[in-house]
Structure 1
Amino acid sequence: MKCTRKEILIPHEWYQPGDLLIGGIASQFIYQLHGLLFEKYVSQEIFEVTDMTTKFYQHPLALAFAVEEINMDPKILPNVTLGFHIYDTYNDDKMIYRTTLDLLYKFHRYVPNYECDHQKNLMAIIGGLESDVSFHMADILGLCKIPQLTYGSFPQVDRDNTNSPSFYRMVPSEAHQYTGIVRLLQHFGWTWVGIFAVTSDSGEHFIQEMEPLLFQHGICVSFTETIANQGRWSDLHDLYDQAFNKYPSLMDNRTNTFIFYGEAMSIMSLNTVLYVGYPEILENTSFRRVWLMTAQADFALQGLQRAWGLEFFQGAIFFSIHSQELTRFQTFLQKFNPFLIQRDGFLKDFWEQAFDCQLPNSQESSQINETCTGEEKLESLPGPVFEMQMTGHSYSIYNAVYAIAHALHDMYLSRSNPKSMVGGGKKVDLRDLHPWQLHQFLRRISFNNSAGETVFFNANQEVEGGFDVMNLVIFPNKSYDKMRIGKLNPEVFEGNELIIDVDRIVWQSRFNQVVPISRCNEYCLPGSQKQKKEADKFCCYDCVPCPDGKIANQKDMEDCIKCREDQYPNKDKDQCVLKTISFLSYKEPIGISLASVALSFSLITVLVLGFFIKHRDTPIIKANNRDITYTLLISLLICFLSSFLFLGQPTKVSCFLQQSAFGIIFSVAVSCVLAKTITVVVAFMATKPRSSMRKWVGKKLSNSVILLCSLIQAGICVLWLGTSPPYPDLEMESLNTQMVAQCNEGSAIMFYSVLGYLGLLSLVSLTVAFLARKLPDTFNEAKFITFSMLMFCSVWLCFVPTYLSTKGKYMVAVEVFSILASSAGLLVCIFSPKCYIILLRPEMNKRKQLLRRVN
């Protein structure tokens, strides 16, 4: 079912006949109305226009290329020819509705040399690039249930696929780009950004969605500006008004990053504002910024703007609809020539405006003297005028045509008799196929295109996939290159959606290939934290040093972090340093001193014990109970030696023995002192006539006192060691730079119970000795015991507050000193008088002298 015709040109409409037709609203708007519309509707249905956006001519060419490939492929829709209509909207709402209706209902009028069985069998429509165009089309197409495949990237503004089941998107959801923008800003540390958005419903929706999203991720918006979606103004006052309003935002030195949301015409609009209103901004590189743009934006120039260039957008980072290069497409473009192709209603205007020449058969008057030769090459055009490589939007159109073709193929097969595929059966009448029947096949379509990529629709009737991250590099000849520097993949785990190669990015020249800084103020250096400024946005803050015990090991930390218990902040408070282990070592002066004293008194005690054993039969030793004396000296010797358990790094054995050995041995020593005192008292009382105390005179009483008092302390220690024994521990809080290796008492109650009992025993000994100090007995030790116990109690009374007020190894040193001092006090006060008599006054250590003193 073919339409044949002779040469005919339909202005500003591209018509290709076929059995099944695909309608298209041409890419955004190939023709742009500037100023007033001179003729609304004329008999030829032609509009007066001043310029054409040649950059978008690739969009209908991509559709024609896809249709041509399908018609030449015997595997898709065999014996069926696809045709297409392409209409332009002229960026006018009324024309959008009119051209949509023309696609649906207007049969092409009969003209000479036309012979067709019927004029249209429209099955689907592709378009448009802008959200407003697509939604206006959907108002009509949704009622007719005709599949509409859009190829622009825009949000679902108050529309969803539930209300528009005929609405299909060839581009992933724009919401993914919002996440991508946030990830880009986070990646480069940009927290102070400005927003430029097109004046439309989509632009308003973008601002409403973006501002709270940025706020949630700690990014502030310094300003929000709107940009008109037009390339020229009919009134210069409007232009200067736009320039005046945008100037303060563009001059904000703290804002080095601008987020731009809009289309190609919005970029041209901003470019016009800059060149006409403030050309010094373009000439001075210090005003250059980093531009982040969404996939809907494109860099195009038309008319006089081609002389201006796009230098202000050098280094822009933008998202692009993912595309793959199709080598056959460039071959397809190279064959286009206005002298060879006659059915393209757009080609003539495109050729004249792209190459700035006039075709010989042009009916329009022009001031251009140069005549088009037809030898002009599309590949010679700069990027802002026309691109030879398939853009993301063209790639989406290409996939849309194939999606329709595959759906038609599946529907065609399902309606055909199986035998018809091998030559039998009845052929399907194409007039029986209706567009609404295509939906069930289109929704479940899945195919691999010629680039090897799988195309299918998800539950939201959107094509799955991500976006490419591109970098705009502008050359001196006003051409540019789009370099792929990364990818946005929304299907991966949150936080890993963006992959970017920073080394490939070309920045504005003012940044010297260093990542720009876009912040309200400078970074807070490590060692300091943020402190919010009053009456300012949260991105603006002061930097204050970290408090004691905390660090900031990164720039711009909200709060300093506390070091672990085994670490402490360094001088700059930017990292934690491992604490050194501290203990009372033998190698340091205080340890050496205490060990020397303990060893010296141990030797002295051994010497005293030796003297006493050697002179054991002398009256001075016999008079004071030799066994108790020996026991006291041995316990004092062990007391001196027990101080070595406190020196060196604590171990399980030393911790287990330290306090218990100290408590028991000191209890034995004090018990011996108490027994000696009681012995003196009992001996004096036994000298009285008929005294009942005589039966207590002897070793039995003293041994009982020593044994009883020592067993009580031993019982306390056994209970302590059996329930919660001491163990080696690292105390980390008392000292800032050191961990103290010490013995943890396990139970503080039991520790102070041992000390309390020892103190009680000392007070009893002191009291008894004090009461017996003036008894008239030869060799009476009571007064010496009184002085020794007074010294003993003084040492341990001073020990408690001193012990509690010191930290680290000095606590151990205090305890060792107390052990040595109290033991030395007992040794010196009790035994030095006896040693004096034995060594220096031996004449007093005789029985005659004893009897003389008694008489």
Structure 2
Amino acid sequence: MEKMDHTPLQQEILQTVSLLLVITVRCCSSPTRCGLETIHDVQRVTEPGDLMLGGIIQLSAFVKYDNSDLVQRGWTIHRSSQPTAHYLRHLLAFMFAVEEINRRPDLLPNTTLGYTIYDVCMLEDLAVQSALSILSGVEEPVPNYSCDQKSKVVAFIGHLDSSPSCSIAGVSGIYKYPQISYGAMDSIFSDKSLYPYFYRTVPDERSQHRAIVLLLKHFGWSWVGIVVASEDSSQRSSMELHKEIIQSGLCVAFMQTIKKRRKRELEFSKNVYIMLKTSCSVVLFFGNSRSVFDLEQLLYRKFNFRKVIIFPAIRFSYNPNSLIALNRSLMMSPPRRDIPGLREYLLSAGPHKYPHVQVLSTIWKNYFYCCVGNASKNYRPCTEKDLLSQVDASDYDVNNFANTFSIYSAVYAVAHALHDLFSYKEHGQLQSFRRSHQPWKVWDKSNSS
């Protein structure tokens, strides 16, 4: 194994991060190496290549908490989620970009990109666990060691949300690996003294704050309320917008935080009650995709809800209840772009095209009621006619690419940085890069391009 160099301070940080993983330390055969026995089974997709991209994305939604597991495993919380077609577009766009780059003779010639992509939903601890696994080159992470001598990880891509992106940066930044988020808009990432190796293919959230203020002024909404989840990113964003609203001459009726409690539904019910009783007709909501889902479930029961809810650019998977629960609401959205060839690629995806991608097996069961291979009690065998083109456009939009374009651009950003780096080297640069791989060189080239 190849040992990664780091300072004593970085070692201390790594140890702290490892504790937050809720993992059990298990010594390996060598006394100088220890593996981290993970308690979460994280789904992944792998494609070999000369140079590897580490993808940490959200493919699943609707996280469920099973507190019965607390009795058997102390304070560990078991989580379960299901992949959705809405987020599947991000995974397929990642794969499409890599395939496209590997076919191009003018970009990274004689070099193939590969990837290891983990689905961590929107959970911070799974993001940390996956980052450690990618750095180790094995599913069961070995901190501070790279167990894969054939392929080198050159950069991280992810996450969609700010909180998991911050968790990834806490690990990748120790070893100076560049990280590109395709959805994190938190303004804190613009501070290069804190996140020197962090990039993103979406704008800073300050731009949408200005857009929200202009929207409020346009409709004459001068008396608004703010409801915010307890996560750090949402808290920061709401405070910055609160300041922007006050400076523009508008007024904030209330600012309510949804606290983290075991009885989460009760906490949301209290905030919905406040929203119903307030005299203001407009409420701004700040939270992650899970918070929106919880709010949606409560609003679905309140058919007389007469407030206008404005959301920032929150990414979440729509369902039939959304049309009823989120009626009269407005949501900011990143610019939509076109990606030549991706639409056809998405429409042609199906079980027969990806028979060995285990993470997609739930997709086929949920949308086609089929399974790859032999039929089971509840599912028929998948056929070549089972294509994602049959999925409703409200859940699988192949015509409008926002964050889908962002993750596609993130892959290309790394590829162009590598290409520029190799352009300054002599022949045989790939083997030289493997032997003396320093991830900060990719960052340095991206930073100067």
Range class of TM-score, shorter chain: 0.7 to 0.9
2:362 and 2:155 mapped to 1: Cα distance?
27
Classify the secondary structure of the residue corresponding to 1:194.
strand
Deviations 1:486-508 (A, max 9, x none): xxxxxxxxxxxxxxxxxxxxxxx
Deviations 1:567-617 (A, max 9, x none): xxxxxxxxxxxxxxxxxxxxxxxxxxxxxxxxxxxxxxxxxxxxxxxxxxx
Supply the AA of the counterpart residue of 2:391. Answer: L
Distance 1:52 1:227, change over 3 A: farther
Distance 1:129 1:14, change over 3 A: same
Note the C-alpha offset of 1:85: 0.7
Note the C-alpha offset of 1:328: 0.7
Distance 1:191 1:332, change over 3 A: same
Distance 1:107 1:299, change over 3 A: closer
* Corresponding residue number in structure 1 for 2:367: 354
2:395 is aligned with 1:385: yes
* Corresponding residue number in structure 1 for 2:311: 293
2:330 and 2:222 mapped to 1: Cα distance?
16
2:443 is aligned with 1:439: yes
Supply the AA of the counterpart residue of 2:111. Answer: V
1:212 and 1:48 mapped to 2: Cα distance?
36
Note the C-alpha offset of 1:192: 1.2
1:361 and 1:37 mapped to 2: Cα distance?
34
Q: What TM-score do you get using the length of structure 1 for normalisation?
A: 0.43
* Corresponding residue number in structure 1 for 2:273: 247
Note the C-alpha offset of 1:292: 2.2
1:201 and 1:48 mapped to 2: Cα distance?
21
1:158 and 1:402 mapped to 2: Cα distance?
21
Supply the AA of the counterpart residue of 1:243. Answer: S
1:341 and 1:390 mapped to 2: Cα distance?
24
Deviations 1:316-344 (A, max 9, x none): 33222223122411111122111231342
2:298 is aligned with 1:273: yes
* Corresponding residue number in structure 2 for 1:124: 155
* Corresponding residue number in structure 2 for 1:334: 347
Classify the secondary structure of the residue corresponding to 2:355.
coil
Distance 1:238 1:137, change over 3 A: closer
Cα pair 1:123 1:146 within 8 Å, conserved: yes
Q: Residue 358 of structure 2 is aligned with which of 345, 370, 374?
A: 345
Distance 1:38 1:68, change over 3 A: farther
2:218 and 2:135 mapped to 1: Cα distance?
49
1:353 and 1:227 mapped to 2: Cα distance?
32
Q: Which runs of 5+ in 1 are unaligned?
A: 1-9, 41-46, 110-115, 418-424, 446-855
**Which structure has greater helix proportion?**
1
Q: Which runs of 5+ in 2 are unaligned?
A: 1-40, 71-77, 141-146
2:434 is aligned with 1:406: no
Supply the AA of the counterpart residue of 1:60. Answer: L
Note the C-alpha offset of 1:72: 1.0
Q: Aligned-residue CA RMSD in angstroms?
A: 3.2
2:112 is aligned with 1:86: no
* Corresponding residue number in structure 2 for 1:262: 287
Distance 1:117 1:268, change over 3 A: closer
Deviations 1:694-733 (A, max 9, x none): xxxxxxxxxxxxxxxxxxxxxxxxxxxxxxxxxxxxxxxx
Note the C-alpha offset of 1:154: 2.6
Distance 1:415 1:426, change over 3 A: closer
2:73 is aligned with 1:76: no
Classify the secondary structure of the residue corresponding to 1:341.
coil
2:249 and 2:210 mapped to 1: Cα distance?
14
In the TM superposition, 1:488-637 aligns within 5 A as none
Classify the secondary structure of the residue corresponding to 2:227.
strand
Note the C-alpha offset of 1:219: 1.1
Deviations 1:760-808 (A, max 9, x none): xxxxxxxxxxxxxxxxxxxxxxxxxxxxxxxxxxxxxxxxxxxxxxxxx
Deviations 1:355-387 (A, max 9, x none): 4x131547987xx56765452442443355332
2:68 and 2:151 mapped to 1: Cα distance?
32
Q: Residue 49 of structure 1 is aligned with which of 76, 80, 92?
A: 80
Classify the secondary structure of the residue corresponding to 1:209.
helix
Note the C-alpha offset of 1:37: 7.1
In the TM superposition, 1:157-306 aligns within 5 A as 157=188, 160-227=191-258, 238-252=264-278, 254-275=279-300, 279=301, 281-282=302-303, 284=304, 287-295=305-313, 297-301=314-318, 306=319
* Corresponding residue number in structure 2 for 1:624: none
Supply the AA of the counterpart residue of 1:82. Answer: L
1:164 and 1:290 mapped to 2: Cα distance?
36
2:396 and 2:183 mapped to 1: Cα distance?
18
Work out the number of aligned pairs and report it.
Answer: 397
1:106 and 1:363 mapped to 2: Cα distance?
34
Cα pair 1:228 1:266 within 8 Å, conserved: no
* Corresponding residue number in structure 2 for 1:319: 332
Cα pair 1:32 1:53 within 8 Å, conserved: no
Note the C-alpha offset of 1:391: 3.1
- Amino-acid identity (%): 30
* Corresponding residue number in structure 2 for 1:375: 385
Classify the secondary structure of the residue corresponding to 2:358.
coil
Note the C-alpha offset of 1:128: 0.8
2:167 is aligned with 1:136: yes
Distance 1:218 1:362, change over 3 A: farther
1:210 and 1:48 mapped to 2: Cα distance?
32
Note the C-alpha offset of 1:74: 0.8
Structure showing greater radius of gyration is 1
2:61 is aligned with 1:35: no
* Corresponding residue number in structure 2 for 1:851: none
1:350 and 1:87 mapped to 2: Cα distance?
16
Note the C-alpha offset of 1:390: 4.7
Cα pair 1:96 1:133 within 8 Å, conserved: yes
Deviations 1:734-759 (A, max 9, x none): xxxxxxxxxxxxxxxxxxxxxxxxxx
2:96 is aligned with 1:65: yes
* Corresponding residue number in structure 2 for 1:565: none
Classify the secondary structure of the residue corresponding to 1:415.
coil
